[in-house]
Chain A
Amino acid sequence: MSVIGQCLVAFLFGSVVGLLVQRSRFCNTAALRDAILFKTYRNTKALLVGMMILTIGFTTFMTFGEGHPMYFDVGLNTFAGLFIFGIGMVLAGACTVSTWVKTGEGNIGALWALLFTFVGMFLFSLVWSANYWPPAPASMTGEPNLEALQLGYANAATLQEKFGVPAVVFGVVQAGVLYLIYRAIRRKEMAQEEHHHAMATHATAAQPAE
């Protein structure tokens, strides 16, 4: 596909995502923060459903060698980077998606967060080492490189190659685990609803009859 074609597809995809996220108020930050702080799971459930569909979809196509999976080594920096990111998104009250979506709604705070995300990226580029660390081409060899705290590269396709089992089989297992988490959340919600219902009934019964 031509560069212009890629950019058009990306813009079209982004536009639909922006519209759907704006109308649904979905937020990745809330999916984690609200579950941790307030024990509410509106966004967490949506995130899990999305991941289940994507896991089956991606691994099905990866079984036949189709699609464009991400290809780069991972390691301690992956954990550490997302740890820092996780703190940042809760403090900013928005993630990479909601900063764009909220900016589109006229939220200047979200635009400010976006600008400082850019500043953070630029500051990091000042200290980035082309030689070794933080992970650079020299330390990313595709294989585990423990000296550079790199674990190499592995995904459903490499598992298929290594074990001779179709990638989608691993995908079904992962989707099953995600479903179990989803079911546990639904059960917790139902227990909360029952508790609230019982409390409301008790309060009504305790009111004196006029």
Chain B
Amino acid sequence: MTPEFFKKTLDPVIALVAISVLDIFLFLVVGAWTVGGGETMMTGLIAQAIIGEEALGRLPFWTLVFEPDAGYWKIYISLGMLFGAFVGAVLSKEFYIRFPRRLSEWVMITIGGLLMGIGIRLAFVCNVSTFFGMGPEMNMGGYLAISGIIAGAWVGSMIYKRILEG
């Protein structure tokens, strides 16, 4: 990879073409790109470490749907993204610790994060599965999910706009 790659911003269309070709390979080997499933398994593993196996086992979700398993391949997609982004940021000298400045930002991020987590588990899919898995597989759920996320993004944008306008 040329040093130029780390100096200029890459055209997102080129990035998405490359990611899509790789996603087709992933689809053939294990399954399409997804993030929500891996995050759920990480949640289970973290919860297990905090409250213990027995206490977690009392919740049916963690025995019937996502039994904590560190060998679940989807976890490693997320960890890989973290690693790849860190390498990219360091080599392009874009890595630095930054914090949200205002209290309102912390509040919005907290509420936003919570809603994302609840939404993923209610739908059984995340935005990545929606656009890079179910949608292209022409799964009926893909159309429902795309409609839902567009409607949600519209409502979210209106709330965001109102907050920006004070």
A, B from the same assembly: yes
C-alpha gap A135/B124 in the complex (Å): 9
Q: Does A40 contact B (CB under 8 A)?
A: no
- Distance in angstroms from A43 CB to nearest chain B CB is 6
A contact residues around B82 at 8 Å (CB): 14, 18, 100-101, 103-104
Q: Does A141 contact B (CB under 8 A)?
A: no
B127-160 Cβ-contact flags toward A at 8 Å (1 or 0): 1111111111111110011111111111111011
Check A11–B79 contact: CB distance below 8 A.
yes
- Distance in angstroms from B156 CB to nearest chain A CB is 3
Cross-interface CB contact of B109 among A18, A116, A119, A121, cutoff 8 Å: A116
Known: A11-B79, A135-B124. A57 touches B20 (CB 8 A): yes
Known: A87-B156, A108-B99, A155-B137. A122 touches B43 (CB 8 A): yes
Q: Which residues in chain B, 11-53, are within 8 Å of chain A measured between CB atoms?
A: 11-36, 39-40, 42-44, 46-47
A contact residues around B131 at 8 Å (CB): 28, 47, 50-51
Q: Which residues in chain A, 136-195, are within 8 Å of chain B measured between CB atoms?
A: 136-137, 151-156, 159, 167, 170-171, 174
Known: A96-B36, A106-B95, A120-B114. A89 touches B136 (CB 8 A): no
A contact residues around B153 at 8 Å (CB): 29, 32-33, 36, 86-87, 89-90
Q: Does A206 contact B (CB under 8 A)?
A: no
A100's nearest neighbour on chain B, judged by CB, is B81
Q: Does A130 contact B (CB under 8 A)?
A: yes
Q: Does A61 contact B (CB under 8 A)?
A: yes
B76-109 Cβ-contact flags toward A at 8 Å (1 or 0): 1111111111111100101111111000011011
A-B pairs with beta carbons under 8 A, tally = 503
Check A108–B12 contact: CB distance below 8 A.
no
B138's nearest neighbour on chain A, judged by CB, is A156
C-alpha gap A19/B91 in the complex (Å): 10
Q: Which residues in chain A, 1-59, are within 8 Å of chain B measured between CB atoms?
A: 1, 3-4, 6-26, 28-29, 32-33, 36-37, 42-43, 45-47, 49-51, 53-55, 57-59
Check B97–A96 contact: CB distance below 8 A.
no
Q: From A15, A21, A25, A57, name the one whose CB has the most chain B CB atoms within 10 angstroms.
A: A15
- Distance in angstroms from A37 CB to nearest chain B CB is 5
A contact residues around B27 at 8 Å (CB): 57-58, 61, 67-69
New contact pairs (11) apart from A18-B87, A125-B121, CB-CB < 8 Å? A6-B73, A7-B75, A17-B33, A18-B80, A20-B15, A23-B92, A33-B153, A55-B135, A86-B150, A91-B112, A120-B115
| 29 intermolecular pairs with C-beta atoms under 8 Å apart | A16-B22, A17-B81, A20-B15, A22-B89, A22-B92, A23-B92, A24-B9, A32-B157, A33-B153, A50-B16, A54-B20, A55-B136, A70-B32, A81-B148, A82-B147, A82-B148, A96-B36, A103-B85, A104-B81, A105-B95, A113-B116, A116-B112, A116-B116, A121-B121, A128-B60, A151-B140, A152-B140, A154-B139, A156-B138
Which residues of A line the B interface, CB within 8 A?
A: 1, 3-4, 6-26, 28-29, 32-33, 36-37, 42-43, 45-47, 49-51, 53-55, 57-59, 61-62, 66-70, 72, 74-75, 77-97, 99-109, 112-126, 128-130, 134-137, 151-156, 159, 167, 170-171, 174
